[in-house]
Chain A
Amino acid sequence: GAVVSQHPSWVICKSGTSVKIECRSLDFQATTMFWYRQFPKQSLMLMATSNEGSKATYEQGVEKDKFLINHASLTLSTLTVTSAHPEDSSFYICSARDYQSSYNEQFFGPGTRLTVL
């Protein structure tokens, strides 16, 4: 199946700093990528839909100025957590939709563990 990578796999930062997470589709083009956040023992919560060449669509309650999303190419989307605080510590997971597949399958990255001190 298709592969989606994320970088870094984990990051520890100080409160107030910004952190960028990359999501890449390695063997297919993804016009649409999705960003999720998952707190311990909770489900994945969709944060935003990232569309190549246009602005991201954010879910209700997600601050677009805090979670900046850029989808500059068909294989790369980035999520920047600006002025991170301890409550932003979470597991961030991206996914990419392969519209060439018969099911429009969505493939998930391995996740990025963010810890804000």
Chain B
Amino acid sequence: SQKIEQNSEALNIQEGKTATLTCNYTNYSPAYLQWYRQDPGRGPVFLLLIRENEKEKRKERLKVTFDTTLKQSLFHITASQPADSATYLCALDLDDKIIFGKGTRLHILP
């Protein structure tokens, strides 16, 4: 069966440093991969989408890479700020449905 793994349940990063989150998947060949942010008690908010034929996508301080050979995506936040503290979810489409990983709780320490 298909599986999505986000390697860290929680990650602490010092303010100003780059936070890197990992998403690995098995038994999938997704056309694209998405990253969402979720704050406590809120629904997920879409951040970035990267297609299978794209190696890298950037949006302001965010950068996503997608390696279909390794079946892995990396999500980077540069110059991290305490306001970046949240849970970040990796998601893949499967038959027109979006399936989520468990997420990584990121804490940016001031």
A residues with a Cβ closer than 8 A to B are 1, 4, 6, 32, 34, 42-44, 46, 49, 91, 93, 95, 103, 105-111, 113
Contacts and interface: CB of A to CB of B under 8 A. Distances in A.
Interface of B: 32, 36, 41-46, 49, 89, 96-103
A105 B98 contact: no
B87 to A, nearest CB: 9
Contacts of A109: 43
Contacts of B42: 110-111
Nearest to B102: A43
A46 B97 contact: yes
A76 B36 CA distance: 24
A34 B97 contact: yes
The dominant DSSP class at the B interface is strand
9 residue pairs, one from A and one from B, having the closest CB atoms: A108-B43, A43-B102, A43-B100, A111-B43, A44-B100, A93-B43, A108-B44, A110-B43, A109-B43
A5 B103 CA distance: 23
A43 B32 CA distance: 19
A96 to B, nearest CB: 11
